[in-house]
Copies of this chain bind each other. A is one copy, B any other.
């Protein structure tokens, strides 16, 4: 199909498709005479994936490019791809804040809170895992804002995270095709965060209603 049809089929505007092509997120179409590129269902699917990661997952184009290049790499093992994909999703962009001794102290304290949590729960996690730093960064922000109650309730959130991760692995366990496995891990993690956020708000409304016994609406 031509680009105009690709746009209609995928629902993504032509200028945006051209942008994804320039940025290397979408592979080029087959060039056919008279010198026009032709696209197929693999391009439609790729556009659907890009939009899911950026719209729903809130991922930047730059991050999406890195993640997609990892899952495209032909010379890596599944384990390497899974590790690199999940790793690249763990970073929190904390731009703009300058450092200083107070911040260093704050971050050291937050990193220790994370270490203590992992040890207390017996979670074996690599020292270099970016999710350690991401968790510490969030805890440092809670601390700076004076929301110590949330930090005190950390184990409750860890219980929920363990349940989520166990469900994640159940989903992956049934998949034999390696490409599908890597993509499910990626999409399940990125879109899964958005799904969990939505379910959390629904559950908050339910739990709040049942605890405080508001009259039925």
- Report A's interface with B, CB cutoff 8 A: 11-13, 16, 45, 48-49, 51-52, 55-56, 58, 86, 89-90, 92-100, 103, 118, 121-126, 129, 131-132, 134-135, 137-139, 141-142, 144-145, 147, 149-150, 153, 156-171, 174-175, 183-184, 187-189, 191-211, 216-217
Residues from chain B with Cβ under 8 Å of A193 in the complex: 193, 196-197, 200
Q: State how many angstroms separate the Cβ of A207 from the closest Cβ of chain B.
A: 5
Whether A161 lies near B131 (C-beta < 8 A) is: no
B residues in contact with A122, CB < 8 Å:
206
Whether B184 contacts A135 by the Cβ 8 Å rule is: no
Please, how many angstroms separate the alpha-carbon atoms of A163 and B158 in the complex? Answer: 10
The CA of A162 and the CA of B90, in the complex, are separated in Å by 24
